[in-house]
Amino acid sequence: MHDIEPYYKWRDRYIAAEDDQSPFYGQQYDEFQYSKKIYNYFIHPQWDEFGSATLYAKILIVDYDAHYAIIEFIGEWNDCLTNDIMHLKRNVIDVMMGQGICKYLLIFENVLNFHGSDTDYYEEWYEDVSEVNGWVTMVNMLDHVETEIRETGIHNYVLLGGPFQDLNWRMIKPHTLINQIDELCGVTIRTLPSQ
């Protein structure tokens, strides 16, 4: 686990710790001492804490003019025991929404497990972004993670599966990637419930 580093090839474009509008502004990283853990496993020090004991994030890029953010995750997403979605929504997403971000691409490749609960925060997030023609999509998730998310009903509020799986996002420039996701969302968005 300690070898899994957040994607770093967009750092010439964006660093959340240097963005005074970011929830992680001013964050310091110790590259020589590993202190963050998921259970008993140390993780790379570049991952950011947002209130969860088992889930960490990295804002890879934000474009305030185009209103999007790409966020990568690692660990176990546990809404059942630790209400991870509440921590994410209140400590990260609400801050970003306040800065005009309404399109969220969440990279799930390193989310190893998901334990669902109710959907209130997902529904709130959906309503927030829908008011400004935004969206939330979860990409490249493990099959059992997608199954649990669907069983919990979260797929009613975020876009996932199908064309949002197996994206080779590392090979695409961020703006091009968001434009592709925007097109996919335009086709898929009508399947989400009207609130």
Contact of 76 with 41, CB cutoff 8 Å:
no
The domain defined by 16-136+150-189 folds into: Transcription Regulator spoIIAA (3.30.750)
More confidently predicted of 42 and 100: 100
Beta bridge partners of 38: 41
User: Any idea which of 15-24, 32-41, 57-66 has the lowest mean pLDDT?
Assistant: 32-41
Residue carrying structure tokens 């990283």: 29
Q: Where does the pLDDT of residue 25 fall: very low under 50, low under 70, confident under 90, or very high at 90 and above?
A: very high
Rg (CA), the chain: 16
Sheet containing 55-63: order of strands: 55-63, 68-78, 103-115, 135-139
Rounded to an integer, the average pLDDT of 52-74 is 97
Do residues 123 and 89 make contact, with C-beta atoms less than 8 angstroms apart?
Answer: no
- Strand locations in 116-164 (E): 135-139
Please give the pLDDT value at position 37. 84
Q: What is the pLDDT of residue 1?
A: 59
| Mean predicted lDDT score pLDDT of the chain | 92
- Cα(4)–Cα(46) distance, integer angstroms: 10
Q: What is the pLDDT of residue 192?
A: 45
What pLDDT, in 10s, does the model give residues 144-164? 999 999 999 999 999 999 999
Confidence of residue 36 (pLDDT cuts 50, 70, 90): confident
pTM: 0.93
The SS3 of residue 70 is strand
